[in-house]
Amino acid sequence: MSEPTSGPGLSATSAGPINPQDLDDRWFRAVANYTYDWESWHDALGRVVWVNTAVERITGYSPRDCLAMADYPLPLVAPADRSKVTAALASALRRTAGEDVEFRCPHRQGEVRWLSMAWQPMYHDGSYLGFRTSTRDVTDRHNLREQLRIHAEHLEQLVQERTARLRQLEQRQRQMEKLAALGQLAAGVAHEINNPLAGIRNAFQLIRSELPPDSEQVELIELVDREIERISSIILQMYQLYRPQSAASTDFCIAQTVREVAYLLEAAARKRNVSLAFTADDDAAVVRLPEGEVKQILYNLIRNAIQASADGDAVHIRLQRRGEAVEVSVQDRGPGIPAEIASRIFEPFFTTKQGRGDTGMGLGLSVSQSLIEAMGGRIDVAAGAGKGSRFTAVFPAQFNAAEPTSLD
């Protein structure tokens, strides 16, 4: 479309003030043509009659291309947004005014831009001439708005994560307070119970030594001895819920330690017809940790896996070195852990084994978690109802603990 520069009423060399009475349609057309926004004029039937040159900058199509389009401006609109533009044009034909209808416009060179269209009716001496549309490139504004939306979603996610983390910390704090109270109680009574218990056990051993091997009382004395051992084990577990200091650290091969623990549990596994399978990615990995506590943690995890397994199942134990950490995972194919109780499995005295012959005190996982966290490690759990369970003990490769505290 030509750009008028001179003629009656419009002179490029005019000097002095312009008399408004000298202005004709070409002045107004020039104003519209040099408008930065994409301008279109439509007649009373909605047919396009004029488009300014800004359309080429925004879309890559010339005014001549636009005037040749049968259903202008829809070919310039992304297919997904054409319904919005069609509705806006229908509203303009009803002689209404509107604005801020945003749509995407694929540029002729391939780039997609976001545009915003406004429209209003045009009159001359009271007669309706049609309507004009003014379309502005709002790509930068839309991108900024999208970035703000993404940023807001990210902030919301961070808030949710921090809130969940705070809840976990609060729950952990309550659990630690409970453990501390239980541990302090256990530490206070352990000495008083342990010494007389040892005396009772020694007395029964003396009685047994006086009985002939075929005596009917030997079996009863052995039963008493086993129950005394069980009481001693429970006292020790309760005591270990709260320990001012960890046992001393030593250098040892953790793969060998895992094998030793698995060997100790072989009899329990055979009794349930469960097999133990151990693999080590680094069979020579040496760590500096309290070995006795590492053994107790692994013993509790492997024993739990055996007890959760069905007849003929296998428990898989795997050792991996990951940077400055060593991971020992214990995988079973048991019933798994329902989601509604997953958050409680580390609570003291909580057990999922009610009504079974191997029911314990519900202290194994609590003790294991306390011991490993004291080393700077953790226990990760992957379990779901009916999907088996995988407990992974993540140990630091090195932990310098203080001297151990005696139970006595």
Q: Could you tell me the pTM of the whole model?
A: 0.48
- Give the best-scoring range by mean pLDDT among 3-12, 16-25, 31-40, 258-267: 258-267
Judgement on whether residues 199 and 332 belong to the same structural domain of the protein: no
- Output the pLDDT for position 406: 40
Q: Could you give the CA distance from residue 248 to residue 132 in angstroms, rounded to a whole number?
A: 86
Q: Compute the average pLDDT of residues 38-55.
A: 93
Judgement on whether residues 294 and 181 belong to the same structural domain of the protein: no
CATH code of the domain in which 58 resides: 3.30.450.20
Taking each helix axis from N to C end, the angle separating 364-374 and 217-240, rounded to the nearest 10 degrees, works out to 40
Judgement on whether residues 113 and 221 belong to the same structural domain of the protein: no
Query: Can you list the positions of beta strands (E) in 197-343?
Result: 250-253, 275-280, 286-289, 314-322, 325-332
Residue 338 CB coordination number (10 Å): 12
> Is residue 15 in a domain?
no
> Is residue 267 in a domain?
yes
Q: Are strands 98-106 and 378-383 parallel, antiparallel or unpaired?
A: unpaired
> Is residue 49 in a domain?
yes
Residue 155 CB coordination number (10 Å): 10
Judgement on whether residues 345 and 405 belong to the same structural domain of the protein: yes
Q: Could you give the CA distance from residue 319 to residue 324 in angstroms, rounded to a whole number?
A: 14
Q: Are strands 286-289 and 48-51 parallel, antiparallel or unpaired?
A: unpaired
Residue numbers of the domain that contains 82: 35-137
Q: Could you give the CA distance from residue 70 to residue 48 in angstroms, rounded to a whole number?
A: 9
Q: Compute the average pLDDT of residues 189-203.
A: 76
391 has a pLDDT exceeding 80:
yes
- Output the pLDDT for position 172: 73
Cβ-defined contacts of 379-383 (< 8 Å, 24+): 379/297, 379/301, 379/346, 381/337, 381/342, 381/345, 383/336, 383/337, 383/342
CA of 161: how far to CAs of 43, 97, 158, 165, 377, in Å? 57, 46, 5, 6, 22
Judgement on whether residues 83 and 206 belong to the same structural domain of the protein: no
Judgement on whether residues 187 and 262 belong to the same structural domain of the protein: no
Strand partners, 98: 119
Give the pair of three-digit tokens for residue 167: 């809840």
Residue 246 CB coordination number (10 Å): 20
> Is residue 279 in a domain?
yes
Q: Which class for 170: exposed (0-12), middle (13-18), buried (19 or more C-beta within 10 A)?
A: exposed
Judgement on whether residues 178 and 119 belong to the same structural domain of the protein: no
- Output the pLDDT for position 401: 61
In sequence order, what DSSP letters do the residues of 160-206 get, joined into one string? HHHHHHHHHHHHHHHHHHHHHHHHHHHHHHHHHHHHHHHHHHHHHHH
> Is residue 12 in a domain?
no
User: Which of 207, 222, 242 is the endpoint of a domain?
Assistant: 242
- Output the pLDDT for position 157: 92
pLDDT in tens, 68-114: 998 999 999 999 999 999 999 999 999 999 999 999 999 998 899 99
Judgement on whether residues 202 and 67 belong to the same structural domain of the protein: no
Domains held by the chain: number:
3
- Output the pLDDT for position 2: 41
pLDDT in tens, 105-143: 999 988 999 999 999 999 988 899 999 999 999 999 988
Tell me which of 5-19, 76-90, 288-302, 388-402 is least confident: 5-19
Report whether 328 contacts 368 (CB < 8 A). no
% of the chain exceeding 90 in pLDDT = 43
Tell me which of 21-35, 93-107, 234-248, 328-342 is least confident: 234-248
pLDDT bracket for residue 359 (50, 70, 90): low
Cα 235 to chain centroid distance, Å, stands at: 39
Residue type, 233: S
> Is residue 371 in a domain?
yes
Judgement on whether residues 91 and 230 belong to the same structural domain of the protein: no
248 has a pLDDT exceeding 80:
yes
Judgement on whether residues 260 and 408 belong to the same structural domain of the protein: yes
> Is residue 28 in a domain?
no
CATH code of the domain in which 249 resides: 3.30.565.10
pLDDT in tens, 293-312: 899 899 999 999 999 899 99
- Output the pLDDT for position 101: 93
- Sign of the torsion angle spanned by Cα atoms 219, 224, 226, 227: positive
Helix (H, G, I), strand (E, B) or coil at 271: helix
> Is residue 315 in a domain?
yes
Helix (H, G, I), strand (E, B) or coil at 396: strand
Judgement on whether residues 82 and 181 belong to the same structural domain of the protein: no
User: Which of 242, 266, 299 is the endpoint of a domain?
Assistant: 242
User: Which of 209, 242, 275 is the endpoint of a domain?
Assistant: 242
Judgement on whether residues 336 and 403 belong to the same structural domain of the protein: yes
